[in-house]
Amino acid sequence: MAVKSKFLNGKQINPKPIEPDASVVELVESYFQAYNAGRLGEACRLFASKYLENSVTIGMSITGALTPAGLGGSCIVPLMKAGFVDWIVSTGANLYHDTHFAIGHKLHKGSPFIDDRLLRKEGVIRIYDILFDYDVLLSTDAFYRKVITLPEFQKTMSTAEFHNLVGKYVLEREKALGIKNTSVLSAAYQFGVPIYTSSPGDSSIGMNVAEKQIAGNQLNFDPLLDVNETSSIVLSGKRSGGKSGVLIFGGGSPKNFMLQTEPQIQEVLGIPEKGHDYFIQITDARPDTGGLSGATPSEAVSWGKIDPDQLPDTVVAYLDSTVAMPILTSYALAKRRPRKLKRLIDKREENMELLKREYFKVRSKRKYAV
């Protein structure tokens, strides 16, 4: 009998019928067998095993209109509560639309095929197949304009500090309205998860901050502080003997902002490091167009973003985040007990001191020191 090829050592494809009461765990482990179902299965298993060791610091980036689709409360909040996400980079739009639910507004399922001219006449906003009243925007704008004029906002700050302060007031509004477990911002405040926005002016939150600045409000964002704070999170996690895992939904600026922490540490600051240890991305973007959204983890190795020795612990699944996120969340919550919260929002100054110490230690030894 011929020797069996080493390439045929994988688990056999099993076409057994799906049971009527199959759980998400059973679907992932027994029925997600090939193509992007196979990749999502690999992502779920990698996340629930290596990522969720206590020593791993987990960053998540989110793009696309995920919170309007309910994924903030249904997925991101449970992940934070369980200690499965330690820090976040998000578009401002996701945080703005997250706030609608927390202050008592309703978004509705609809059709993507309605005449948008009719919607405009009736004051209805459409995000593909999600519909809501135009007043939802005006009310949310008013909420932010009121909050950001409070005394504690009258200074320059990182977006993480800003979102933490906002989260306190979002939580107060939720409690007043009897709303529970819906808001990413209020949950991040409660569980100590810092949230950064890579382009703080590129959303309705930033637009309202800009409007109040014209009127003399002193709130200002420091994006350079964000660059260093996020890098300090990764460095601190590594220097404490742990590892760094990134969980990327979509791509765009938040993906780059999360991954650039390693080039910032290695290339710019000159601190010896090797890259993120674990990488999971859910994307619908192709790699061959040259955009960052579709760039693979192997390409990221060339930039120092991913540790080359950890490439086997990277997965890219090409599918919709609104499909993948609930499955991965359900699988992880079923497979692992909650981790102790890292509360990185409380360690910003401590982490920055570590970053500064290491930077000044090596600064004079850099190849192109100036």
Task: State the sign of the Cα–Cα–Cα–Cα dihedral 66, 68, 74, 76.
Answer: positive
- Strand duo 195-196 + 87-90: pairing: parallel
Catalytic residues, by residue number, are 305
Pull the structure tokens for residue 341.
């919260």
Q: In sequence order, what DSSP letters do the residues of 5-21 get, joined into one string?
A: PGGG-SPPP--PPPPTT
Buried b (16+ CB within 10 A) or exposed e, 113-133: eeeeeeeeeeebbeeeebbbb
Which residue's entry shows tokens 């994988």? 10
Burial zone of 217 (CB within 10 Å; 0-12 exposed, 13-18 middle, 19+ buried): middle
Yes or no: say if 92 and 85 are a contact pair by the CB < 8 Å rule.
no
Q: For the beta carbon of residue 14, count every other beta carbon within 10 angstroms.
A: 8
